[in-house]
Chain A
Amino acid sequence: MKKRTYTVALAGNANVGKSVIFNQLTGGNQIIGNWPGKTVEKAEGFIEQEGIKIRVVDLPGIYSLSTYSEEEIVSREFIAKEKPDLVINVVDASNLERNLFFTLQLIELESPLIIALNQYDILESKGLSIDFEKLSRLLGVPVIPTIAVRNKGLRELFEQSKEMLEKGVKKTKPIPYGKEVEVRIEALAQEINKKIHTTYPARFVAIKLLENDSLIKKEVKDDNIITLAEKFKKELKNIHGETPETIIISERYAVASRIAESVIEKKGKARLNIRDNIDKIALNKVTGYILLIGLLLLTFYGVFKFGSYFSDLLTNWFESFKPTFMQLPFSLTTNKILWNGIMEGIIAGIGIVLPYIAPFYLILALLEDSGYLARIAFLTDNVMHKLGLHGKAFMPLIEGFGCNVPAVLGTRIMERDRDRFLAAILATLVPCSARTVIILGLVAAFLGPIYAIIIYALDFILIYIVGRILNRYIKGTPSGLIMEMPPYRKPVTKIILKQTWIRLKDFVYIAFPIIIVANVIMEVFSELHWVTPVANFLKPLMTDWLGLPPLAGITFLFGILRKELTLVMLATLYHTTNFAAVLTPREIFVFGFVTMIYIPCVATIAALKREFGWKRATYVTIGEFLGAIALGGILNQILKLFMR
């Protein structure tokens, strides 16, 4: 007999540790970090042990089951329509009130529930503890305390969940609102039960109708029910003098805080509040920006130093195999293809790319997990407003420094379509790790770090200008910032390393094969003498306008696949990694600049297409291509005046 697969969903507020629990339970590879809005799309993984098969779905973090953002709709519909066998509600123990606000809604949705009371260590560091047995009684839901980052309590969570799945889950009883509201909810729910059939439970529909939920209204359709709801809303407004939305939200919060107060116990002293002390500096209007710029420069310099040191070491070591290789008993052409195609590809991947992106990803993970990323969003909110965005947009943009693909997907944390598209366009201009490799490995290494910084500065200015222009011409009203500031967390080594590895793995498994295959194709072309005709065709644009050698045009073509390829190809075409010998300083500078902006790679174009459709993806691609050629040319003409 085939065993049944159970479905379990992880749901809860943003930044409470759902993805950490997901990774620990399933051995999955969800990107995690200490900032709200990382998981923008549901992820799936499987647990198969002790005779049970479970599909685990990690839902995006949300604060409510209303329809304010796309994530909320995704999560709500998943829970209501796919009806998972169990919902693990991950609750931040150190922030019980706000989290219970969401738990109460899950109970209203009548989902079979278990609570993982996570980040229990942070609660304890505040000198508090929670009587979780009492909490469980009050809510009618099992509660398991966990510290997911240290893998504590997850065994118990799994065992309890397993038991619930196998034995069936008791339906939880909803917690009543104040009398005036409750009477009306019940009356409306009865009417709904009698007259129509909905995917959502009747009581939930009744509450949402009173809360003025437009999607639910559309689903109900029945005019009598809508009229009745409108009548009740008016009555409530007359009694309380507030909108029914406000009444229901504040009553729900009242229940949440009553429960929270009755289960939280004071236990010993609170440890020193480091958060306030760090924030006094990190968010200060002067020191905050100094710290931010200092950290960015330090990151840049650290990655460059580390990268160039290991890059030299590794390439030299690899090059020492060349003589032996050339003596292999094949024809000279085969040997050349083997060495120049395959080996040079491997050397470039390991020697030129890896030394820069590995430390870069490590620092990115540290920034994410410590909670500093949210501070960057705070500090940049005002600048972002000038671009018609708000501080939250900075988080996908920062993600873009790693790779533009998750950055484009990550723009989903923006609430409106207009903001998303704007942020996504800017994200494609953010220097991703591949471009960082080129800037550090070529410009910084052969011209000096200051030139690399100039290219970065030019890029940031460009992002700013493009943002301002787009803000004027893309229609729609922008929205403001509202973001929960996460506490600082001491990064856990194991998690940081795992995070770094998840990102590196993408490079090793996806980029590496592309680099090697492209390199082999290039070498075959070169042996067939096809390179020169193509180069000559590109010559007017490359040489006359951009001031680059014609061969650079070919590297740009390959660069569409992966940006690293431009540098790798350059090495292949010139048979050297000492670029100063074959390129003039001006050529290096213009090459770096054009590579930085000349179009996102295919993967980014695909991500744009997926998120915004072909039409808008094509606009962005063509626009950036033309922009890069135009700006690169102008830069070249200016540099001609004082640079060789």
Chain B
Amino acid sequence: MRKVVTLIQLREGTKAKVISFALGRGGGFGARFGRGMGQAFARRLQEMGIIPGSTIEVIRNTPVGPVEVSVMGTHLAIGRSIASRIYVEKL
């Protein structure tokens, strides 16, 4: 069985396949777990290359800052709250 985790749980250097997003209402973040990132944000992520099915590599992931991933040859910084709403499968 494949193992799905959130982006925030991946260590630096791990490659992963994007699976889906926690959508839900609004664009809450921070302590308000359980709420999704919202359609608009999911769309933006996809336009930046974080599309279900695409492969990403975690470049940086420390508790103090955003998660940096390499996708389509560029680096994206993704805030921790958003990263915790992106489901991925470790490769």
Cα–Cα, bound, A477→B44 (Å): 17
**A478 surroundings in chain B (CB, below 8 A):** 27-30
Q: Are A381 and B73 in contact (CB under 8 A)?
A: no
| Given A68-B40, A480-B27, A480-B37; A485-B47 close (CB under 8 Å) | no
Q: Closest approach, in angstroms, between the C-beta of A213 and any C-beta of chain B?
A: 10
Q: Closest approach, in angstroms, between the C-beta of B83 and any C-beta of chain A?
A: 8
| Given A68-B43, A249-B47, A283-B68; A381-B79 close (CB under 8 Å) | yes
**Does B91 belong to the interface (CB within 8 Å)?**
no
**B56-91 to A contact mask, C-beta < 8 Å, 1/0:** 000010111110100011111111111000000000
**Does A285 belong to the interface (CB within 8 Å)?**
yes
Residue of chain A at shortest CB distance from B83: A480
**Does B52 belong to the interface (CB within 8 Å)?**
yes
Q: Closest approach, in angstroms, between the C-beta of B23 and any C-beta of chain A?
A: 10
Residue of chain B at shortest CB distance from A280: B60
Q: Are A481 and B82 in contact (CB under 8 A)?
A: yes
**B63 surroundings in chain A (CB, below 8 A):** 285
Q: Are A95 and B40 in contact (CB under 8 A)?
A: no
Cα–Cα, bound, A144→B13 (Å): 36
**A278-290 to B contact mask, C-beta < 8 Å, 1/0:** 0100011100100
**Does A634 belong to the interface (CB within 8 Å)?**
no
Residue of chain A at shortest CB distance from B46: A249
**Does B48 belong to the interface (CB within 8 Å)?**
yes
Cα–Cα, bound, A101→B62 (Å): 30
Residue of chain B at shortest CB distance from A284: B62
**A484 surroundings in chain B (CB, below 8 A):** 48, 74-77
Cα–Cα, bound, A464→B51 (Å): 36
Q: Are B27 and A381 in contact (CB under 8 A)?
A: no
Identify which of B26, B45, B73 contacts A98 (C-beta below 8 A). B73
Interface residues of A in 39-76 (CB under 8 A from B): 63-64, 66, 68
Residue of chain A at shortest CB distance from B72: A97
Q: Are A482 and B78 in contact (CB under 8 A)?
A: yes
**A245 surroundings in chain B (CB, below 8 A):** 43, 46
Residue of chain A at shortest CB distance from B71: A98
**Does A217 belong to the interface (CB within 8 Å)?**
no
Q: Are B27 and A477 in contact (CB under 8 A)?
A: yes
Q: Are A253 and B64 in contact (CB under 8 A)?
A: no
Cα–Cα, bound, A478→B78 (Å): 15
**A473-492 to B contact mask, C-beta < 8 Å, 1/0:** 00001111111110000000
| Given A250-B52, A482-B76; A385-B68 close (CB under 8 Å) | no
**B54 surroundings in chain A (CB, below 8 A):** 250, 253
Q: Are B74 and A477 in contact (CB under 8 A)?
A: no
Identify which of B29, B73, B77 contacts A479 (C-beta below 8 A). B29
Cα–Cα, bound, A95→B72 (Å): 8
Q: Are A250 and B51 in contact (CB under 8 A)?
A: yes
Cα–Cα, bound, A378→B69 (Å): 13
Q: Are B65 and A63 in contact (CB under 8 A)?
A: no
Interface centre among B52, B75, B81 (most CB of A within 10 A): B75
Cα–Cα, bound, A630→B30 (Å): 33
**Does A550 belong to the interface (CB within 8 Å)?**
no
Q: Are A480 and B41 in contact (CB under 8 A)?
A: yes
Residue of chain B at shortest CB distance from A102: B47
Identify which of A66, A97, A374, A481 contacts B79 (C-beta below 8 A). A481
Residue of chain A at shortest CB distance from B26: A477
Cα–Cα, bound, A122→B74 (Å): 13
**A231-275 to B contact mask, C-beta < 8 Å, 1/0:** 000000000001001100110010001000000000000000000
Q: Are A385 and B30 in contact (CB under 8 A)?
A: yes
**A21-53 to B contact mask, C-beta < 8 Å, 1/0:** 000000000000000000000000000000000
Q: Are A385 and B75 in contact (CB under 8 A)?
A: no
**Does A172 belong to the interface (CB within 8 Å)?**
no
Identify which of B53, B64, B74, B82 contacts A482 (C-beta below 8 A). B82
Q: Closest approach, in angstroms, between the C-beta of A92 and any C-beta of chain B?
A: 9
**B51 surroundings in chain A (CB, below 8 A):** 246, 249-250, 253
Q: Which 3 A-B pairs have the closest CB atoms?
A: A481-B79, A480-B82, A480-B79
Q: List 7 A-B contacts (CB under 8 A).
A: A63-B44, A97-B49, A246-B46, A249-B51, A250-B54, A478-B28, A482-B48
**Further contacts, 14 of them, CB under 8 A, given A385-B79, A480-B29, A483-B66:** A68-B44, A97-B72, A98-B48, A283-B60, A374-B77, A378-B65, A378-B66, A378-B68, A385-B80, A478-B28, A481-B77, A482-B79, A483-B76, A484-B77
